[in-house]
Structures are given as C-alpha cells and as structure tokens.
Amino acid sequence: AQSVTQPDIHITVSEGASLELRCNYSYGATPYLFWYVQSPGQGLQLLLKYFSGDTLVQGIKGFEAEFKRSQSSFNLRKPSVHWSDAAEYFCAVGAGGGNKLTFGTGTQLKVEL
C-alpha cells in the first residue's frame, strides 16, 4: 500500500524568503504525485501534479516541485514566499480505482512579516 510522509509539521519563514516543503512517498509503481493547499475553512486546492516526463513541474501561485525517484521524494519549493501563502500543505499520491488519494499529515506554513 502507498504512503506519504511529510516530516515537517510546522515551518516558519519570513516573507520574501525561499521555501521548501519535504515529501517522501512509498509506492510500488510509478506514482502520481500531488501537492494541495488548504486554507482555514476552505477546501483543498491543487497546486501541482506529477505523473511522468520532466521531473520539475510548475504549478500555480509560483510553486514548483521536483520528483526524485532515487530519493522517493517530491519536494515543494517557492523562491519567494508571500504572506498569503500561509496555509497547510498536503502531499498526496494517487493510485487505485479512480485515482484515490493517500495524503501525508500536512505541513503548516507560517509566514512572518
């Protein structure tokens, strides 16, 4: 069965600083990988996804992620964080019928002004 690990529960960065959120996955085949963002009281919004091809994928809001098969990782990055990026971020792997998602426990991002 697939699993996702997000080792950082909380991260605090200063506005304008760079950001990297870590994600490690376990899955037997080529994974479909996703990053979602969840703001308080809001549903999950898809930031980006990886399925094949170029291992560096671009998403919305200036986010990107790099798939590294050798490290079983799919880390999310942003060069310059904005205060509005404060939210909870979830990494997920899709598998099985209909592409059901297995999520990590999330990383809460706080942005200091």
Partner 1 sequence: GAGVSQSPRYKVAKRGQDVALRCDPISGHVSLFWYQQALGQGPEFLTYFQNEAQLDKSGLPSDRFFAERPEGSVSTLKIQRTQQEDSAVYLCASSLAGQGGPYNEQFFGPGTRLTVL
Binding residues for partner 1 (CB under 8 A): 4, 32, 36, 41-46, 49-52, 90, 92, 94-106
Q: CB 60 → partner 1: shortest distance, Å?
A: 12
Q: CB 34 → partner 1: shortest distance, Å?
A: 9
Q: Which is nearer to partner 1, 98 or 113 (CB)?
A: 98
Q: Which is nearer to partner 1, 15 or 94 (CB)?
A: 94
Q: Which is nearer to partner 1, 30 or 80 (CB)?
A: 30
Q: CB 95 → partner 1: shortest distance, Å?
A: 7
Do 85 and 61 contact (CB within 8 A), yes or no? yes
Do 35 and 19 contact (CB within 8 A), yes or no? no
Q: How far apart are CA 88 and CA 69, in angstroms?
A: 25
And the tokens for 27? 């899955």
Q: CB 89 → partner 1: shortest distance, Å?
A: 10
Residues β-bridged to residue 100: 95
Q: CA angle, corner 61, sides to 94 and 46, nearest 5?
A: 20
And the tokens for 36? 């979602």
Q: Which is nearer to partner 1, 12 or 105 (CB)?
A: 105
